[in-house]
Amino acid sequence: MNKNLAFRRFFPLFFCLFFVTAYAEDGSRLWLRYESDGQANISGTFGVARDELQTNWNGGPVVLKRQKGMPKDGYKIVSDGEQIRISASTDAGLLYGAYHLLRLQGMGNVGKSLNIEESPMYEWRILDHWDNPDGTIERGFAGHSIFWENPCEFVIRQYARANASVGINGAVLNNVNAKPQTLDSDNLKQVQWIADILRPYGIRVYLSVNFASPIRLGGLTTADPLDKDVAGWWKQKVDEIYRLIPDFGGFLVKANSEGEPGPCDYGRTHAEGANMLARALKPHKGIVMWRTFVYAPNDPDRAKQAYKEFQPLDGQFLDNVILQVKNGPIDFQPREPYSPLFTSLKSTLVMAELQVTQEYLGAANHLTFLAPMWQEFFSLVKPASLKAIAGVANVGDNINWCGHHFAQANWYTFGRLAWNPNLTAETIAREWLAQTFTTDKRFVNPMTDMMVSSYETVVSYMMPLGLHHQFAGGHHYGPEPWYTAPGIRSDWTPAYYHRADSLGLGFDRSSRGTDAVSQYPDELRDQYDDIRTCPEKYLTWFHHVPWDYRMHNGRTFWDELCHKYDEGVHGARRMLAIWDSMMPYVDKERFAEVQRKLRIQARDSEWWRDACLLYFQTFSKRPIPQDVEHPVHNLDEMMKFRIHITNYENPECGYSK
């Protein structure tokens, strides 16, 4: 029997008993690693906030105080040397203030004088779980769902604590590829049970829904959003949900995308479909999060699809509909320019969808700190222009929650940036490291540098200079730029994106190509359209670059491509070396587990470099520069390699023949 599946069978009982009886150094405590005698002097009667401080605060007296007129979820922390006062207008605000104080304690930064006032940038700060009714998780790399199939109340409560500690206030409990059974009455009873556990931590539950549910669950002959019986079915179903869960948040919808049903099946628009659901939710103050992830197989440029389909509908959505837009125009690639929908929708509420789980960034094997990636996004998409933010979760039932100890940092980072998108990657890394491992600067300083640089390292050994979607068929883990298969859609093959030939490499989205640049504001359009001014990190995204094109540093494009891949490999090895030097500061269990993962990552980086450079060299016909480490494999051998996945949630060790 697969050991992970065997473990999962006994997981709920084991995990619950484990948490109650003892704490091993296995990552199960995340960043909530409080050490306290539980004797804190707390005044106030505000539920979980009081309990967290009573159990975990080691300092002087703390007073929790309700104060009218403060921003929703906001708080103040003030100390006068004698006591600390946390003020907020809601219990949720007091809880966030309590966790802020505990965060300072965990970092060793509680001074005698405190004067802090904070409120979140976004009203909705939501984790999207791609969990299925059978307990599996699509693109999940940390085991099975904590919500479905033998859920454990204690585990869900610990999940709630972790979310609340970084300000996350919503959870979509199921996959965007939703099953109609999501809305059946028996399933809603389980959703009610989960909602009751999450509610004291300020977390509302949401559900992904299948647009054809009136047919498949309600027995109707149509799901046409303009049909009165369809609208009536949805109203009745929504009313049923709110009788069970009065604070239910609303629906997330993936429609007319990758085979999912939607309003376009009936000649209706996305706006007409979303508004029908929004009307049912409006009396209950619920929202519809309507995903814009759409693409058609017959379009010459997949990157243009979402804009073409949704921009003409700007202003047609009701005010409780929020369009949920992936950060980039393709699909969570290691690096993408931002989706032009963010700057083209002027009269529609928009929220960003970021991916916390590393679907295209090494799954649970590679250390990839995502804060720099998301900061790059926020540098062009102004945070204040967004109404809400969502992150595709990386949480599963593995004992360390995320499959990789450092993947926990991305869960933490999403929450912190959802609260304050102006925080720097360095600040967040230091916070997480100090709370999760140690406050010793001999550990925190080098590890902060390593974490912050890890994203650029991964991009370099995977797909530098604007390359994207060079993954092997059947998974999004390893490289296979030559991949194709009989009958497969062209936009599901790497060649569709890299377009390598004897002249050069890259997808021409300039005004002379597909003209995707025209979807951006004038200043960026002009910058991206000219190969000389296009940022080199996006070069092959917007241009078919000649092999001998001169880069800003004087190298030819081919030579620079080789150097980038080489830098990525050396960067991955450097990460392993830095971690090895951290042995004196880390417990032996987590040290060994992270070391093992970093060894996999270093080897995988060679796999990526060799596969991509040897393949692209068949088009460039140019030698690999002498100052670059040459591939250690042959191309014919690389093309025979197949990833060996016995458990997709945790792809093992890269490749085998």
**Known catalytic residues?**
258, 331, 359
Q: 513 vs 507, 517, 535, CA distance in Å?
A: 8, 9, 18
Residue with tokens 């995340």: 30
Q: What is the dihedral of CA 227, 230, 235, 236, to 10 degrees?
A: 140
333 token code pair: 């690639």
DSSP assigned state of 388: E
**Residue 613: closest CA among 654, 564, 546:** 564
Beta bridge partners of 77: 86, 116
Rounded to 5 degrees, φ, ψ at 305 are -65, -50
Residue 641 near residue 657, CB atoms below 8 Å: yes
Q: Which residues pair with 63 in a beta bridge?
A: 43, 85
Count CA atoms closer than 13 A to 111's CA, side-chain side: 5
Identify the residue whose tokens are 């490289």. 479
Cβ contacts of 486 within 8 Å, gap of 6 or more: none
Q: In a 10 Å sphere around its CB, with 0-12 CB exposed, 13-18 middle and 19+ buried, how is residue 293 labelled? A: buried
Query: For residue 320, what are its two tokens?
Result: 């409780």
518: three-class secondary structure by DSSP: helix
How far is CA 329 from its chain centroid? 15
CA distance 139 to 258: 15
